[in-house]
Each structure stands twice: as C-alpha cells, then as structure tokens.
C-alpha cells in the first residue's frame, strides 16, 4: 500500500514539472515553424497527452479487461471537458475563434455521435474499431491541412517575401524545442503510469469494480497530462493551445484509444455505460459547443462563468456515478 502511495506522490511531482517542459517545447516549435498554436494543441499535445490513455487501454485489452479501456476513454473525455477545461478557463479565459465553431466543434460532435451509435447494439468489435481508426486518420489529415492553409493565408497577409527567413540549416533553438517536447512527453507518460498504477492498486484494495476504476481513478490519472498541460499553457498565455489540447485529446480518446482496444479484443460493456456514461459524454460535449457558441456570438471570452458551469456538471456526473456504483 505504501509503495502505491509513494508512486502517486512522486508521479504527481514529476508530472507538474514535465508539463512545463512539454509546453515550452511545443510553444518553441509553433513559433519556429509558424504553425498555429491551436494546431499544435490538437495534434501534438492532443496525441501526446492521450498517450497514457492509449497505453492503459491497450494493456487492458491485451490483459482481457477491455471494459476498463472503454471506461478509461469515455471517462477521460468527460473529465477533459468538465474538469480540465472548466478549471483552465477559471484561471485564464479563452477566446473562441470562428474556426473552432465552423470546423473543430462539429468534428468533435460528429465523433461523439459515432461513438454513441456504435454502442447501440451493446458491443464494440473489430469492424467498429477499424472504422474508428480510419476516421482518426481522416480527421487528423483534415485538421492539419485546414490549419496550415489558414496559417499560410494569415502569414501571406501579414509579411512580405523579404521577411521570410532562410531555411538552409536546422535552427538550434528548434532542435532544443523538439528535445524539450520529447523529454516532456516521455516524463508525462511515465509519471502518469506511476500515478495510475498506484491509484489502481489503492482502488483495488478498496474493492471498487473494474468499470468504476476505469471511469474514475484511471480516467482522472490518465487525464492528468491534459490537466497540467492545459493549465500550464493557459498560464503561459497559450490559450488556443489549451483548448486545442482538450479537443484533440477527446478526438484521440474516442477514435484512437477505443479503436485500438476494440481491434485487440471485442468490448461488451455493462448496459449502463451507454445509458449513463455515453449519454453524459454526449451531453457535456454538446454543452461545450453551446457555451462556445454563446461566447463567440456575445463577443465574450470563454471564461469563469462557463468554467463554473462545466465544473458543476462534473460534480453532478460524479455524484451520479457514485449513486450507481453497484449497478
């Protein structure tokens, strides 16, 4: 038991430090490559901070516990929006751009609907997993192409040809940024695994079920990189990166994490997963879209009032989960 407690405490300390290194590296790359911070958030931070979910879910599927993988992914999606983003905008409000409403939120809503539709028959098998993985590749390709096109357009309108830097040699500062990004990511994943291992050991001693462990302890543990990275990004003024991190992470969780687990082993979850957790994930995603729309139309930031609403919803979901813990 004490070993588990030590793993959680040391993991948390490393996690906080590595998040700063990770964000510094991502910011340096975005500046050197003239890539939008939102794209860095969606692709690099989204994929990187979803690595713990992927590792945990793949291991769970290989070890014959695919329900843990599903609870991990959907629980992380709920936590990312309701807890992580809610806490982030309480500290530093986010400006909602038009592209988020026209492209990113519709994509996230579509993916959430797909996840709910696939579970209508109570099972996720190999064909379902392949569909999710193909969708992941298509969505990422679309996001990258559209964001780079917007960045190119913005750059062309703001600078002349004479302002472009020479691209013959590799910039040492870019290499340092890449190194910081990779080191930060490795430490994020390693510390998250230590926290999850310790938390699961403690939860098992307390007699919690596999699904509940996935939805709570493991989901919170594997969402710690998103939480710390988003808070760090917001503190450093990278608001677009923080929002992109959440959207990108949820896309990876729904398509990549669940897709990989379903390809490895069929998932037949408790029916309450659909009626409670998938519905909660769908509602929270729709709520996020509505709050973003209101903030954009009213020309206000996505800030403390929205963050308070999201945190209250998270508290409500957690209470609902506790009430149905034995179902």
Residue 41 · residue 94 · CB < 8 Å:
no
pLDDT band for position 323 (cuts 50, 70, 90): confident
Instruction: Dump pLDDT digits (tens) for 5-59.
Output: 787 678 767 766 776 676 667 667 666 766 666 666 666 666 666 766 676 677 7
CA distance 267 to 70: 8
* pLDDT above 70: percentage of residues in the chain: 68
Of 83-97, 149-163, 241-255, 272-286, which gets the smallest average pLDDT? 149-163
Neighbours of 120 (CB within 10 A): 9
pLDDT of amino acid 306: 92
Higher pLDDT, 236 or 115: 115
pLDDT band for position 299 (cuts 50, 70, 90): confident
Q: If you count them, how many residues does the chain have?
A: 327
Q: Enumerate residues 6+ apart whose C-beta is below 8 A from 248.
A: 41, 42, 43, 45, 46, 47, 50
Query: Mapped to the 3 state alphabet, what secondary structure does the chain carry?
Result: CHHHHHHHHHHHHHHHHHHHHHHHHHHHHHHHCCCCHHHHHHHHHHHHHCHHHHHHHHHHHHCCCHHHHHHHHHHHHHHHHHHHHHHHHHHCCECCCHHHHHHHHHHHHHHHHHHHHHHHHCCECHHHHHHHHHHHHHHHHHHHHHHHHHHHHHHHHHCCHHHCCCCCCCCHHHHHHHHHHHHHHHHHHHHHHHHHHHHHHHHHHCCCCHHHHHHHHHHHHHHHHHHHHHHHHHHCCCHHHHHHHHHHHHHHHHHHHHHHHHHHCCECCCCHHHHHHHHHHHHHHHHHHHHHHHHHHCCCCECHHHHHHHHHHHHHHHHHHHHCCCC
Of 196-200, 255-259, 263-267, which gets the smallest average pLDDT? 196-200
Instruction: Dump pLDDT digits (tens) for 186-204.
Output: 776 677 667 667 766 766 7
Whether pTM > 0.75 for this model: the answer is no
Mean pLDDT of 57-69: 73
pLDDT of amino acid 93: 86
pLDDT of amino acid 166: 46
pLDDT band for position 156 (cuts 50, 70, 90): low
Higher pLDDT, 21 or 161: 21
pLDDT of amino acid 159: 47
Q: Enumerate residues 6+ apart whose C-beta is below 8 A from 79.
A: 219, 220, 223, 314
Instruction: Dump pLDDT digits (tens) for 76-105.
Output: 899 889 988 998 888 888 888 888 888 889
Topology classification of domain 2-155+177-323? A middle domain of Talin 1 (1.20.1420)
Mean pLDDT of 228-242: 72
């Amino acid at each position: 038991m004490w070993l588990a407690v030590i793993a959680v405490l040391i993991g948390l300390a490393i996690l906080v430090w590595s998040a700063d290194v990770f964000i510094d590296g991502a910011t340096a790359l975005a500046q050197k490559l003239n890539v939008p911070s939102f794209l860095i958030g969606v692709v690099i931070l989204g994929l990187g901070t979803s690595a713990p979910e992927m590792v945990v879910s793949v291991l769970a599927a290989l070890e014959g516990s695919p329900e843990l993988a599903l609870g991990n992914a959907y629980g992380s999606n709920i936590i990312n929006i309701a807890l992580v983003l809610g806490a982030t905008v309480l500290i530093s409000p986010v400006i909602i751009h038009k592209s988020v409403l026209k492209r990113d939120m519709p994509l996230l809503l579509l993916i959430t609907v797909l996840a709910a539709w696939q579970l209508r028959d109570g099972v996720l098998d190999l064909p379902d997993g392949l569909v999710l993985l193909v969708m992941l590749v298509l969505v990422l390709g679309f996001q990258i192409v559209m964001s780079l096109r917007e960045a190119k357009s913005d750059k062309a309108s703001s600078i002349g040809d004479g302002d472009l830097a020479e691209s013959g040699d590799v910039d040492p500062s870019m290499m340092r940024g890449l190194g910081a990004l990779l080191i930060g990511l490795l430490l994020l994943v390693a510390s998250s695994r230590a926290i999850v291992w310790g938390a699961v050991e403690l939860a098992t001693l307390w007699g919690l079920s596999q699904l509940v462990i996935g939805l709570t302890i493991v989901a919170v543990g594997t969402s710690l990189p998103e939480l710390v990275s988003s808070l760090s990004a917001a503190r450093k003024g990278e608001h677009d990166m923080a929002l992109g991190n959440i959207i990108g992470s949820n896309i990876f969780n729904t398509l990549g994490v669940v897709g990989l687990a379903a390809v490895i082993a069929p998932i037949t979850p408790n029916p309450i997963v659909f009626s409670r957790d998938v519905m909660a994930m769908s509602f929270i995603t729709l709520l996020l879209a509505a709050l973003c729309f209101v903030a954009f139309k009213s020309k206000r930031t996505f800030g403390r009032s929205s963050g308070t609403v999201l945190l209250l919803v998270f508290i409500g979901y957690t209470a609902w989960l506790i009430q149905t813990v034995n179902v």
